[in-house]
Structure 1
Amino acid sequence: MKQKYLLLVLWILTGCVGQKQNSEDEVSNLDIPLRKTNYEVMMSTFVDSISYIPLETKDECLIGSIDKIIVTDNFYYIVDKTISYSVFCFDKSGKFIHKLSNRGVGSGEYMRINDVDIYKDNVYIWDCSLQKLFIFDHFGRFIEERKFDYMAESFSVLDDSWIVFYADYKDNGKYSCNNSYPNVLFVNIDNKQTKSDLFFDSRMSFPGIMSSPFNFVSNGNLVTSLNDTIYQALPSVTLKRKYVVRFGEQNQKAKKDYIEKLRTETVDLYRGRELRKNVPYVYAFLETPSYSFLKYNLGDYYYLGIINHKESDAYVESSGYKKMNVVNDMDSIAIFMPLVTYKNAVYSYRSPDGITFDEAFKKHIEPDDNPIIVKFELK
């Protein structure tokens, strides 16, 4: 009895749960065509309407780059990680509301932005270099910061207590279990309880692994570059297996060989690129009630898989050499480049270059104006 109690305590303290998946998960298989030809999909087959929201341009809200878009009922949040190190807030008409820019070395200040999430109108900013989570209110006023001992690239706020981090194959030795590191860590910010998951071999050559920067952008969904399963992080502190992506026997063997080399050899960044040329790479999964979208590539071919939930998850794949081959047959302005979903819409953006006054924008657009949010309402 004492031994069982000790094991329970160790599990609670370390969260070391191994790689077993819940056998009761309802998992669907996605059989991917992976054509090495150009195959076009017409946008009108799944998009009902397109609308454009020019973001207000003035000195205090000049956006350097768009690294992430977060959509809520009332606002657009634009994350600029690399130029202004800021989070911009605009209302649904594109009017500028405020800018959160708190870079520095003092209390409540971050050095870099790895990821951002919005929960109950509070803004959460993760700085992996400091291993700190900064929390601000909707108006950009600092609330608190939390220090963690886990290296992560992205995160999602699940509820009032739980946050989930994705490491992207970083060395988190403190949470090692049987010579493996966890790619996912659930953390309770109230009592610091943790639960780790998706372990990988600690002998991996990390520089040779492709990054997965587009996680948790849609309903807590998660993909990893060495795993063929699409997961969803849930407030119940579990990873739900949603889909298993199947690329065919030959491609699966290429991926298995690549992983074995990562485990047994020293693979630097350049050799990693060469090894990945024949390995399919899934880098984003976005979900709506009507459709879901899977983004992946194989060498120089880029793919968008469209899952039609209204027709028993029927799968259509667009493919193109160095391009994503979804054709805008509706207005010729927008490019379907899905970055985030909210309700039954997909959001992206486009540069104002080459655009002048048009009925779609209701105003004159200058080439150096802020980007334009594009909303694709789905059928």
Structure 2
Amino acid sequence: MCSNFFNKNIPACLFLLIIIISSCSSKESNEVANEGQHVIKIDDLTDVSNLSFSKVVDSVFYLPLETSEEVLMGQIESLQVVDERIFVSDITSKSLFSFDMDGRLITKYSAVGEGPGEFSTINSFTINPERKEVVIAGAGKILFYDYEGEFLREFKTVLSGSMAVAYTGNNRLMAYTNYKIHDEKQGANNVVFLDYETGDVISANLSFNPKARVENMTSFFNNISGLQGTSKYLSIPYRNTVWQVSGEEVDTFFTVDFGDNALPDSFEDEFLSNSKVTSGKLREIERNNAWYRIKGGGAQINNRYVNFSYAGKDSQFIEVFFDKRNDQGYSFKVPLENDIDGAKFVVQRSAYENYFISIASPEVLLGLGDKVADLNILGDGLEIDGNPVLRFVAYNFEHFQK
């Protein structure tokens, strides 16, 4: 993980060595005690809103991503850490980058165009760790590359414009449609499975009312978690359930019980499918009835915790961490006082082992002045106009359980 950086920063590498040893030694303790469906009851969560960020964090380190003429990012769309590589898609440059765990560039996928092996946009991407392949959903087609950026093949499909695609194992690609009908034969389904080799539609799951008006919905910026392996976790707006997907199997992993504040079972048919209900009216209805649901980034899941947010009373955002090992949950009002790096909002964008990954601004971190020396910053250091910094946080709430 440290490579040539070791000689420059021995303490940081020792820190990472401790992480690796700790991860291996605690593998057994991180086993989920109750595999299968979990029910997260909002009324049973322990409120830790009075704590500061440092009180709920075991460890945190920062990884600046290389900044050069070849690597200039404007807005990170999504990121995944697989096989000790960090894959980051950038909206501004229409590129996908892979970095090593020191933040140095390995490969840039940026064949902008309409020809074979080229794409005009990156709608989403996924990694096949079994075959060491990078899969990019472009406009009207899905493209396959190896880890070194060599173009392998492509196939055309209308499902490439879905909100997200993910490799789920067993030679299957899952396309999440976000309430859009892409195949009349399959009907209205939020999940469509494609053959990994040919792109043929194999099956579909999680049906929805075909009259649902996606333009009135508030979607997630992340619908899929569990990105390190082939099993994925899927969250869908207006459904307070997260599903585990493996191959073509779709099983409920957990549901959120909002009690009296839950969306009614008729919500999709009565409101999402009503042409007279605009997006503003939809939010007003939710607010006036005090109906809660998962919002923001959907659910993120690492080896230990399930993380999601919802809008509570007076639209106050509440963040939740649910410990899969003992079915204990914790919540706090956003934002939590950040006494570590000063950022107002820490938004979980991805997960890796026991860590959740968020994005930090180098300008904000350097604004700490002398205190920046107290942060565990890896790689080649911060640049004021540099690319975003990845913040890896391992949370620990067990001291506060009821």
Cα deviation, residue 241, structure 1: 0.3
Q: What amino acid is aligned across from residue 135 of structure 2 in structure 1?
A: Y
TM-score (norm 1): 0.81
| Structure 1 position 210 matched with structure 2 position 210 | no
Structure 1 pair 141–86 and aligned structure 2 pair: CA distance change class (3 A): same
Q: Residue 343 of structure 1 aligns with which residue?
A: 353
Shift of the 334–377 alpha-carbon distance from structure 1 to 2, 3 Å rule, reads farther
8 A contact 1:52–1:375 mirrored in 2: yes
1:375 aligns with 392
CA distance in 1, matches of 2:240, 2:330: 18
Cα pair 2:174 2:194 within 8 Å, conserved: yes
Where does residue 193 of structure 2 map in the other structure? 186
For each residue in 1:319-355, what CA deviation from the matched residue of structure 2 results, as whole angstroms up to 9, or x when unmatched?
2xxxx23333455569532111111111112011143
Within-5 A mapping of 1:253-272? 253=264, 256-257=266-267, 259-272=269-282
Query: Are the aligned partners of 1:290 and 1:378 in contact in 2 as well (CA < 8 Å)?
Result: no
Provide the residue aligned with 1:303 in structure 2. Answer: 318
Report percent identity of matched pairs: 23
Change (3 A) 1:176 1:158: closer
Secondary structure (helix, strand or coil) at the match of 1:367 reads coil
Aligned-residue offset at 1:221: 0.9
Cross-structure match for 1:316 = 330
Which residue number in structure 2 is paired with residue 123 of structure 1? 134
Query: What's the CA shift for 1:365?
Result: 2.8
Q: Which residue of 1 aligns with 2:103?
A: 94
Structure 1 residues 280-295: aligned runs within 5 Å: 280-283=292-295, 284-295=298-309
Q: CA deviation at 1:112?
A: 1.6
**Contact in 2 for aligned 1:85/1:101 (Cα 8 Å):** yes
CA distance in 2, matches of 1:366, 1:264: 50
CA distances 1:195-216 after superposition (whole Å, capped 9, x unpaired)? 1111011122232222233112
Counterparts of 1:252 and 1:113, CA distance in 2: 33
Deviation of 1:119 (Å): 1.6
Going from structure 1 to structure 2, the CA distance change for 1:79 and 1:34 (only over 3 Å counts) comes to: farther
Residues 261, 291 of structure 2: 8 Å contact kept = no
* CA-to-aligned-CA distance 1:354-376 (integer Å, 9 cap, x gap): 43363533666332111111111
Deviations 1:112-142 (A, max 9, x none): 2111112233211112x41x11111112221
8 Å Cα contact 1:40/1:325 also seen in 2: no
2:70 counterpart of 1:60: yes
**Pairing partner for 1:232 from 244, 248, 259:** 244
What is the aligned partner in structure 2 of residue 39 from structure 1? 49
* Distance in 2, Cα, partners of 1:153 & 1:78: 16
Partner of 1:14: none
SS of 2:363 mapped into structure 1: coil
Amino acid at match of 2:76: I
Change (3 A) 1:105 1:207: same
SS of structure 2 residue aligned to 1:326: coil
Show the counterpart of 1:19: none
Question: 2:349·2:357 contact (CA, 8 Å) conserved in 1?
Answer: yes
Spell out, residue by residue over 1:83-115, the C-alpha distance to the aligned partner (whole angstroms, 9 max, x if none): 111011211111122211112111221122111
In structure 2, how many angstroms separate the alpha carbons of the residues matched to 1:148 and 1:333? 41
Q: Distance in 2 between matches of 1:41 and 1:133?
A: 46
Query: Does the C-alpha gap of structure 1 residues 185 and 40 become closer, same or farther in structure 2, counting only changes over 3 Å?
Result: farther
1:198 aligned partner: 206
Give the letter aligned to residue 193 of structure 2: F
Task: Give the CA deviation at 1:46.
Answer: 4.2
Please give the residue correspondences for 1:145-160 in structure 2 after superposition, counting only pairs within 5 Å: 145-150=154-159, 152-159=162-169
Seen in structure 2, the aligned counterparts of structure 1 residues 339 and 266 have a Cα distance that, compared at 3 Å, is same
Match of 2:27 in 1: none
- Measure, in 1, the Cα distance between the counterparts of 2:351 and 2:101: 15
| SS of residue paired to 2:207 | strand
Q: Is the 8 A contact 1:33 1:317 kept in 2?
A: no
Task: State the match for 2:400 in structure 1.
Answer: none
Unaligned segments of structure 2, at least 5 residues: 1-34, 367-371, 397-402
| Structure 2: distance between partners of 1:208 and 1:30 | 27
Tell me if structure 2 keeps the 8 A contact 1:226–1:259: no
Q: 1:137 aligns with which of 126, 134, 146?
A: 146
Aligned to 2:263: 252
Which deviates more, 212-221 or 195-204? 212-221
Structure-2-length-normalised TM-score: 0.77
User: Distance between the aligned counterparts of 1:176 and 1:126, measured in 2?
Assistant: 20
1:147-174 per-residue CA deviation (whole Å, 9 max, x = no partner) reads: 2243521011012611111100112352
- Do 1:126 and 1:133's aligned partners in 2 also have CA atoms closer than 8 Å? yes
Partner Cα distance (1:318, 1:224) in 2? 23
C-alpha RMSD of matched pairs (Å): 2.7
For the residue of structure 1 that corresponds to 2:70, the secondary structure is helix
Specify which of 110, 115, 126 is matched with residue 106 of structure 1: 115
Name structure 1 gaps, 5 residues minimum: 1-24
